[in-house]
Amino acid sequence: MENELRYYLNLMKKALEPLSEDEQHDDAANATCAPEDQVPVRKVFIPTYLVTAVKLPTGAIELAVNNQNIAEKIDYILGAYDDDMHLKTNSDIIMQNVMIV
């Protein structure tokens, strides 16, 4: 089973992606339809902050707050941490939690 943090980050990554051509078409078609005939269309999520909590080898929890390039930071986290959210270059460093707001 996929780690919960990885699952959440992958969901957020998808929410940050621009609408596909089909989704844009559905959104445009909804504008001319009656409310009961409208098709649900995904909206692009624009987060303000990405907050991460990482447990260091000393046992301390480091909090990091990012307010720019959030999609790129998510890509970095997914690449730098293994399936159990241990840093690939130092398995004593563990991603404990992530919050996207």
The string of pLDDT tens digits covering residues 47-80 is: 899 999 999 999 999 999 999 999 999 999 999 9
- pLDDT reported for residue 19: 65
**Four-point Cα dihedral 26, 27, 29, 35, nearest 10:** 110
**Domain coordinates in residue numbering, the chain:** 4-34+46-100
Look up the pTM and report it.
0.74
3-state DSSP helix/strand/coil % of the chain, to nearest 5: 35, 25, 40
Name which residue leads in pLDDT, 27 or 80.
Answer: 80
For residue 50, give both structure tokens.
């990405």
pLDDT digits (tens, 9 = 90+) for 76-98: 999 999 999 999 999 999 999 99
- pLDDT reported for residue 3: 86
